[in-house]
Structure 1
């Protein structure tokens, strides 16, 4: 993997990033691969780059967005002629609202989010599946474990946002286990390192976080913290790149270029078994807690690689239609969407390069 690094992330660098916290509130516009740009443009020519705004429902200081970080730091966006601006939003509901408003042509949300919104008439399309399986972990205290769905009943669980991906995936997991989701109260909490103190005090039974934050907290509270992973039990607990029909018409070429860069960057992380070159590339541009700690970074990226590839069984970014249908049926069974929709209209693999 001998690629030249792109221009530094202007808003995220080893000098500019405070490396002690994950999952903060929206960070504002974060720019990669050159100067800040506006709405997406078409393909570049004569060595120039086109501006492209990507809407991220996650803060950019987490390895959950490693494909984006690698595509920027490794020069993959630049190779596709894109000058990418990352605009963070406060969770997936706002990401979808911002997408539909036309403020950016592409976002990544949960399969649950897209299907529930599309069933309500939002003009959304899945153009690429990046995470196959749950990338959400529920942190809990070993003194009062949440080791099975049954342990959640009657408890209060912290979520990053009301009605967001974590909230919905919790409901779906409980329903599949035969537990009424209303038996589990939700409380919106911050996701900084100190949130685990709420669990230790008994204010909440646990809270839902990204993989790297779960691992980080376990390292910070050895023997006191552990996490619950719903794993591959829930088909709909996946993450997908999502565009509106208008953005596909206006910026289809640029969206295809973005996904090509993501696919190439993700493949590089899958191919580098030791992760040595991957970490060198990422750390050349960024610094945050889970990336800077060697043990945490390797464990988080190992888990992420299994999710990107469905344990080596799936082509990167290509949506498996049977998986897509099974996810929809789960949502129908849980009463989250109505039956009768043709979900093939909500997915388009043609923007993913071979």
Structure 2
């Protein structure tokens, strides 16, 4: 479920709060939750008393681990329910798109796990805060899907092409690396949340989006200086130059080959190699193709492209099999449609862009 509440401020305005409250699934979203969030955001956009939005997950483990993948599996496998999967992806992507354009400041408190659609919510927010427990990932190749919720665009905007490496290997960024890569704006201690709330209460909110956004930025920067976050050791940053070299160029097979052949002492890179090797070859090719096409598209067109790719993914491809293997039967032995990226490239993904 998702809950909503208002936080009153000293000058009589209100901050609207979105509380993702499905801790049993690490605050994963389902279709009903997406629809409720969209409805409230539309209402708050027109409400002059609402000056900002705060998004967070209930509990200490997760901001949001993405979509409720098990619910999507049953929508894919039970007769007559495929439309629910279509609706979930289309409406989730639209929600994240609207967040990118929201006229009022949106503060995402990104504590804990931030994956898939959860990263989509974070990426769409104007003010992105991580804590010492944050872990960011787009791990979709492991379940036969692709990095979505606009990630075809915003992953490519991360520094030193690390976004390309992330979608090819399902790797994670901790809070230190998220800041360095440009995936987050501030890091604050997890236990600083109540102090942040008190600070939000004291701000002289004006109701003018740009002015309020600047004030919120100043507040978060002040907290960041006054309450340093106990950040974990960097994992990507020490090998950032190597990663940039590994993913350079436009030949996917060469890139995959370089990553696989890399000899390194970095445990983070070694895990990336293993995840790439066991991910869906078709998903790797589809993710690559989406990112390449996104270079020349505006954001609306990118979202439309991802919606179409998702409609294909729920009908054919590796998504159903990946969820079965990872989350339903848990045998962790998915039978992918292709044995290698080379085979998947030969087969091609052009059909993923045909109307469904």
> What TM-score, normalized by structure 1, do the two folds share?
0.27
Higher Rg: 2
Q: Which has the higher contact order (CA 8 A, sep 6+)?
A: 1
Which structure shows the higher helix fraction?
2
